[in-house]
Every structure is written in C-alpha cells, then in structure tokens.
Structure 1
Amino acid sequence: MISLFSKVNKSLRSDSSSSMDEIVDWSQLPIELWPKIGKYLDNHIDVLRFRSVCESFRSSIPPSHPNSPSFPLQIPHPVYNSLNNYVNQSTVYIIEPTDASSNSNLEPLAPSSSKGWLIKVEETKNQPVSLLSPISDRKLSYPLSNNNTSPMLWNLLDYRVIELCKSYKIEKTTPFSSSAIKVAFYPNSPWTSVEDCVACCIFQEGKLGLMKHGDEKWTLVDDKNFYYDDIIVFKGQFYVTDKWGTISWIDVSTLRLIQFSPPLCGFGNKKHLMESCGSLYVVDRYYEISDDMGRNYVRRRYDRDTDVECFKVYKLDEEWGKWVDVKNLRDRAFILSKSCNFSVSTKDLIGYQGNCIYFRDTYDARMYNLDDHRITMVNFNPCIDKTLWSRSPWMRC
C-alpha cells in the first residue's frame, strides 16, 4: 500500500503547479478515486490500514468481500465422510519500526530501532488473535503491561506492517480426524468469495487431493503417484513436488497435473517447494536414517519429524528447463515450517542470518548454515514479557 500511495502521490505532485515539496492532502482527493485505489489492496492488513486513515477512506471500501471465507473453515475428512476437519489460517508479517514507534511509550522492541522482525498471527472468529512462532508454529504468550496483569496494547499504526505470506493447517477434532500434512488454499485476498476458493492437500500417505467449495469429499488428483512431498501457490496456481523433485502444476478445471520441471534426481528424503524472488526452488532434506527404520521409512517419512543431517538447495531455470545447484542464498533465509515455506531478506531483520535454512526438527527450531553446513538450535521461549521485548527471541523460533 505504501508503494501504491507513493506512486499516486508522485503523480499528483508532478501534475501540480505547486512546489514539489508541498504535502498533498489525501483527504481532499475526489471520492471516486478511493474505490479504484482500494481494489489494488490484496491483503487484509493493507485494507485495515487504508480504512483507518479517515472516515472518507473507511466508507470508500468494505473490510472484505461480504461472502469471504471465515476461519476456521469446515471441510470434509479425506477418508471418513462422517467426520469434519477445520482449516485455520495464519499470516506471517514483517513488523518494521517507524518514527512513531520509536517515540511511543513502549520499550524498544529490538536492539536496533531501524530493523524489523518476523511474527506469525492466527485469527479466528471464535478466538482472540494468537501469536505463533514463524518456524515451529507454537503458540506464544502475549507481552504483559507494567502490572503484569493485562496484555500490552500495540498500535499497528505506529509500525510498518508487511504481509509475507499466508499459511493453512487442518486442525484435528478427534484423534483420527485428520491425515493431512500440508494444505494450500487459493484465492485468499480480501475480495475473494468463499464460493471461488479451492483447497489442495497432501495426505500422510503422500496422496494429493483437491476440494472446491461445496464438494462433499476430496478428489484425488493423481491416483497413481502416492509420493507427493509439498505444495505451494505460485503465480495463481497450485504447484506440487513429488519425492523425485519433479514439479507439476494443477489444472483445477480438469484436475490434470501438468509437468513443469524435469526430475531433480536428488537423493534427499523429503523435498520442500519454495518460491523466492519470483523463482522456484526445491530444498532437499536429508535425514539421519537409523538401521531400525528399515522398510517402514517410506511410511514414517510422512508421520513424524526425524533428525536432519543436511539440506541441499536447487533453483529451477525455467528458460532452459534444468536444475541449478545453489550454494549461496546471499542475504536470504529460507524458513520451512509445517504449514508453509517462505523466504525473507535478512538485511533489515532481527535474529535471522542470511544463507541459512530455518526448520523444525523433532522437538526444536533449528538453523542450517549453508556456509559451514552446521546445524544449531534456535533459542525458544514461549513466554513473552517486557524483559524479552528488547531481545525478541520469540521472533526467531
């Protein structure tokens, strides 16, 4: 939204006979312009900030589509039609300080006031906002006020909030109510009607299923290949990778899989699909496989975390249709959580290191450094209070 306003503001100034240094009063712009600007806001935080500017902004666009999906969203069980599952939505944000935040009455959120941090937020209609670890998806406690009895208030207008991505997970209602390991959901903008939404899921057996709004059961997209590892939304399409590292996209209208890349032929045990700076990557995870895993490994690769030995990263060269071995991510960090994968620049981010992969091992959040190939544990503290705000360890786990 900021870049959009900047472009419009620059255009207004260039067309004006007044000085270029004159501040444009946005509230005086013609009312008919606001709905046109608002339709370019593709995430809820930008819509929220837009509508909070003034009354004319707020009345120009609604908070969302009147029939937008409301989470948790009920969906059918992949096997037992008598059971229901529920999909929850979370959002990963970068929170950056501004002049207003540095002058607020809160203690500094970070050692460097110019750097931001990552946070994951889960919102449902029945529960208050939950803070989650971006890596482990664990729920975190709210920071408390001075008397340690009530949550500290946080005015988002005092910070620059950037939405990175959304993630989805299927919540269990009974011990046997879910067999999903990854779910993707599209489209998901504020202007989306629930009737247009499609969910795509990888089940524990490696099967790939798809469900449109109104369907009473999941439909298998490929009933021959039961070895799918990961799924993401890329350029408005569902993309999947199988255990051989072959990327395909799903034609939702025909339920056909269209192969998009050659097989990677990597020897890792699990493939993670990643979008970074407009390109597709596969992160190949290598497990420390003990002798007792034996024949059951194919099954167990889907239903439990296993100790990680190393990672290898490959980038898809779409022009030449080949895989490129990536040795250095430069300032980028790759985050592999159970519900989503995303990359982020670490230059202006607290607690994250470039050329590293962050992931959850059996019990802990860990970091794999591509420089020295070492794995280190990332500190995790589930309690957030004022003494931790300056260090922000909860942002790094």
Structure 2
Amino acid sequence: MDEKVEWCELPLELWPKIGKYLDKHIDILRFRSVCESWRSSISPFHLNSPSFPLQIPHPINSSIDAYLNKATLYLVQPTHASSNFQSFSKGYLIKVKESKNHPLHLVNPISDRKLSNHLGASPMVLNLLENHVFEVCKSYNVHSKGGHYVAVNKVVLFPNSTWINVENSVACCVFKEGRLGLMKHGYEKWKLVDENNFYYDDVIVFKGQFYVTDKWGTISWVDICSLKLIQYSPPLCGFGDKKHLVESCGSVYVVDRYYESEPRIRRRNHVGDLNHCAAVMGFKVYKLDEEWGTWVDVKNLGDRVFILGNSCNFSVSAKDVIGYQGNCIYFTDMFDVRMYNLQDHSFITIPFDPCIENFVWPTLSLQRIRGNNQFHASV
C-alpha cells in the first residue's frame, strides 16, 4: 500500500473508467490534453451531451420553431507559466455562448450581451496549460426563429452531463406571467406544473432536482414524474417584489428584490418584452436552515458575491475573482448592470463587465480546437 505508482504506468483499461467520472466538458478537455494515452482513452466523438442550439417546442405557438441555447461560465486562473497574467493572483470570469454552426463567442457574465470587439482583428489563444479553467455554471435561454416573442423568464436543464443523452434531460422554466413549465424529450408542447397558479419567480437545479420559489419565498422541488410540487421550505413571507434562488457553498438562499413601485403587473410593451420600468431600491438575503426548517436573515455575505444574471444566478468568492467585491449583489436593472452593497446599502452602476475593467481580455469570438489544450479566439 505504501508503494507509489506513476499515473502514466496505470493499466490502460483504467483510463476510460476514470474519464467517465468527469462530467464537465472542460475537465475532459484537460484530461485529454495530458498525454497521448490519456487522449486516446476518451474519444470526443463518443460524447453524448446535446448539441446546441437544441430545438424545442415554442411555449405559446407550436407552429413557431424555438431553440434552447446554452452558455457556460468559466473561472480562468492564470498559472505561473503564463507570462501575460502572472502579476494577477486572482482569476477572471468569462462566459462562452455555444453554437454548433458558429464560432464560440464571449458574452457578459451578468447581462448575457455579446461583447463587442474593441481590440482589433488579432486572434488570441487561451492555453489551458497556462491557465486553470473551472466551470462555474451553465445557463440557458429560449429563442425563436424569426425573432418571435418567447414568454420565458428563466429556464434550466438537468442533467446536462457529457455522458448523458439528450433524451434523458429535462427542461424546467418559469414563464413571464409566473407559470411553471416542464419539457422532456419527445414532448410536443410544454406541460404545466401547478397549472392553476401564476406566482412562481425562479427555478434552479439544487441537489440534483429542480427547486422553485414562489412570490412568498416558499421553496418546492418538482417531481418530474407526477408533475407535482413537494414543499421544501416554510414560507419566507418576504415583502419584496421578486424572489431569486442562489446556491452558495452547498446552501440555498433567497434574494428578495425590492422595486420603487409595484412591478408585478406582467404586461408586454409594443415589442413584446415584459415592462418593468420600476428601478430597484434594495435587496434582502435569507438563508434556509435545512436542519431546523427556518429562514435566517443574512446581513453579511462575507467574501461571497451573489450574481443575479439574466439567465442564471450564481455565487463566487471575491478573493478568487478580479473585479468583484465581496458582500455585494450584482444584477441587471432595466438596461444597466449594477452592484448593491449589503453593508451600506449603496448602488453602483457598472458600464461594462467588471472583469474587463481590470485586465485586457479579447472580446472576440472563441473557437474551440478539438483534441488539444487550447481555446482559440478569432474574429
């Protein structure tokens, strides 16, 4: 038992078994980049993850083609081998939107807006041997062919593992008017969960299940077989106007958003978008104590950063990420990306993504080079 064996001397038949414990594509890419024997043990063409955009039924009109798009958020931490970024001790966030027909491109991690090219036409390569790349989360949104209105406020997909066929994945969404919908492979239309109620605000994947919150802050998980909701928490009874779910360090939080005026009249404007003209005036954060089944009013997040994005909510540590401040909530407010400080309740409007402000990153398209250890940025 005390004898040490080099990794490269392990029996070849073990490598495919080890590789299949890696669910995330970036981990498999790094695995295949180590050496020729590791690369040959897992073929990229045998992976079963769905190709995006994924065609799905339109939520309102079945005659319109709708598509589920995916973007992946990464934390990139330069190593000492990187001469360009060796002065940084922190990493940075990049969000990559994927498409089977077009090069990958960067989008803002909070607003999801495509980042424009302001650095010229010079391509740049992100070498995975010089950077540690970690997947933070995946996000999804629904678009329709021809720009038709899609009444989806939030959508999540589970499972989305490299080794899972798309036929085994399920999508869950919150429609604009607060309904909750479920979509499995082969469905001709979305099925409603709790179809008599229109008061759901957010949905996330937590502990391998869909968890939703209603306007009172009650969390339930979705039984995808019976299309029923199982109550998971007591009502929060927060007085805010919209509830957001955030998973952080293995615990679930509800972030209660307060508007200056009542925004819950869910009306569309002339272009079909939900008309929330009221500005945000504050947030309150609550943590669910699962052992006692009670809500804890959180006054300080420490070094944690909560990000309420347009397509996903997530949490990171400020000590790991450039440009983000701990004990703060980053969010979109009408057309702006803003930061709310929980300590002094102040707001700051951010004109562009914080990671762009603190270091030069090419806001160009990204094209993945299969089978090697690089992401390639090109116009």
Q: TM-score, normalised by structure 2?
A: 0.89
- Please give the alpha-carbon distance, in whole angstroms, between the structure 2 residues aligned to 1:119 and 1:44: 15
User: Aligned residue for 1:118?
Assistant: 93
Please report how far the alpha carbon of residue 54 of structure 1 lies from its aligned counterpart in structure 2 after TM superposition. 1.6
Q: Quote the offset at 1:136 in angstroms.
A: 1.1
**Counterpart of 1:79 in structure 2: which amino acid?**
I
| 1:61 and 2:28 correspond | no
Contact 2:266 2:275 (C-alpha < 8 Å) held by counterparts = no
Task: Pick the aligned partner of 2:109 from 126, 134, 139.
Answer: 134
Partner of residue 390 from structure 1, selected from 359, 362, 365: 359
Who is 1:47 aligned against? 28
Give the counterpart of 1:108 among 85, 91, 96: 85
Give yes or no for contact 2:216–2:235 (8 Å, CA) kept in 1: yes
Give the 5 Å matches for 1:297-308.
297-300=264-267, 303-305=274-276, 306-308=278-280
Distance 1:87 1:389 in 2: 32
Q: Is 1:224–2:201 an aligned residue pair?
A: no
Q: Which amino acid in structure 1 is aligned with residue 66 of structure 2?
A: N
1:282 aligns with: 254
- Which range moved further: 151-160 or 333-342? 151-160
* Contact 2:318 2:324 (C-alpha < 8 Å) held by counterparts: yes
2: CA distance between counterparts of 1:83 and 1:172? 7
Is 1:318 aligned to residue 285 of structure 2? no
Task: Identify the residue that residue 54 of structure 2 maps to in structure 1.
Answer: 73
Residue 335 of structure 1: SS of its match in structure 2? strand
TM superposition shift of 1:53: 1.4
Structure number with higher helix proportion:
1
Cα distance in 2 for partners of 1:286, 1:225 equals 22
Q: Deviations over 1:77-135 (max 9, x none)?
A: 11211112111111111100102213xxxx438xx422111111111101111101111
Distance apart, 1:151 and its partner CA: 1.9
Alignment of 1:89-238 (within 5 A): 89-102=70-83, 107-108=84-85, 112-141=87-116, 144=119, 148-238=120-210
Larger % of strand: which?
Answer: 2
- 1:177: Cα distance to partner? 4.0
Secondary structure, counterpart of 1:225 in structure 2: coil
Number of positions where the alignment pairs a residue of Structure 1 with one of Structure 2: 358
Q: CA RMSD in A?
A: 2.3
Q: With the length of structure 1 as denominator, give the TM-score of the two structures.
A: 0.85
Contact 1:85 1:177 in 2 (8 A): no
**2:328 corresponds to 1:356:** yes
Match of 1:48, SS state, is helix
1:73 corresponds to which letter in structure 2? L
- Superposed displacement of residue 154, structure 1: 2.1
Q: CA deviation at 1:15?
A: 2.6
Name the structure 1 match of 2:367: none
* 1:24-60 alpha-carbon deviations (Å, 9 max, x no partner): 6433221122112112111000001101112211111
Whether the aligned pair in 1 keeps the contact of 2:172 and 2:183 (CA below 8 Å) is yes
2:314 match: secondary structure: strand
Work out the CA distance in 2 between the residues paired with 1:373 and 1:155: 40
Please tell me whether the aligned partners of residues 357 and 369 of structure 1 are also in contact (alpha carbons under 8 angstroms). Answer: yes
1:15 aligns with 2:3: yes
1:276-301 deviation line (CA, Å, top 9, x unaligned): 11111000000111xxx6xx842149
1:30 maps to 2:11: yes
Q: How far apart are the structure 2 equivalents of 1:15 and 1:45?
A: 31
**Alpha-carbon separation, structure 2, partners of 1:149 and 1:376:** 32
Structure 1 residue runs of 5 or longer lacking an equivalent are 1-10, 17-23
Q: Does the CA-based 8 Å contact 1:108-1:389 persist in structure 2?
A: no
User: How far apart, in 1, do the equivalents of 2:46 and 2:254 lie?
Assistant: 35
- d(CA) in 2 for partners of 1:149 and 1:218? 43
Which structure is higher in RCO with an 8 Å CA cutoff and minimum separation 6?
A: 2
In our comparison, the structure showing a higher alpha carbon Rg is 1
Gaps of 5+ in 2: 364-379
